[in-house]
């Protein structure tokens, strides 16, 4: 690979990495995430969802928002980017991240006594773009952003 090609590959890899130096979330990353999650929660409420829980941690993963509307429990992954990032935030919901969210959702359902015969579930993703002043300039909600087979969810 040429030097410019290696440079571009490195830049793309760094933009996709969710953690700062040393694998820890830095203060800016945490702030951006919280702002994005608040914008996503506000969006969901405006759309008629009821927020059941935020930042649910279990099963080796985290669910940013658990919401409910029309008989469906919705597990929402929120991805936030600042305006100086070239990558669409929704493109960063990797299969690995999906597995972590699914595991946490399984734990959530177990803890709350929910099963697939009682309630339908769905996995959504919301991408939030923030401007330089940390205002949400775009909120993109994708319903059924990823799916789980019935067998995997039990």
Structural domain includes residue 15? no
Q: Could you tell me the CATH number of the domain that includes residue 128? A: 3.40.1350.10
Structural domain includes residue 3? no
Structural domain includes residue 1? no
Q: Domain count for the chain, please give it.
A: 1
Structural domain includes residue 13? no
Structural domain includes residue 5? no
C-alpha atoms less than 13 angstroms from C-alpha of 4 in its C-beta half-sphere? 0
What are the tens digits of pLDDT across the range 84-141? 665 666 677 888 888 899 999 999 999 999 887 788 999 999 999 888 888 888 899 9
Whole-model pTM: value is: 0.77
Cβ atoms within 10 A of the Cβ of 46, count? 9
Residue 95, both tokens:
């299969």
For residue 45, the enclosing domain spans 27-153
Structural domain includes residue 19? no
């Amino acid at each position: 690979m040429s030097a410019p090609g290696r440079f571009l590959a490195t830049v793309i890899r760094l933009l996709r990495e969710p953690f700062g130096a040393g694998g820890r979330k830095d203060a800016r990353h945490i702030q951006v995430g919280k702002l994005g999650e608040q914008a996503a929660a506000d969006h969901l409420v405006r759309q008629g969802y009821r927020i059941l829980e935020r930042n649910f941690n279990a099963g080796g993963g985290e669910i940013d928002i658990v919401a409910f509307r029309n008989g469906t429990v919705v597990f929402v992954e929120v991805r936030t980017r600042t305006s100086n990032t070239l990558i669409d935030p929704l493109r960063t919901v990797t299969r690995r991240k999906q597995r972590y969210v699914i595991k946490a959702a399984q734990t959530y359902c177990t803890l709350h006594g929910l099963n697939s015969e009682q309630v339908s579930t769905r996995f959504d993703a919301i991408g939030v773009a923030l401007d330089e002043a940390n205002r949400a300039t775009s909120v993109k909600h994708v319903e059924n952003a990823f799916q789980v087979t019935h067998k995997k969810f039990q």
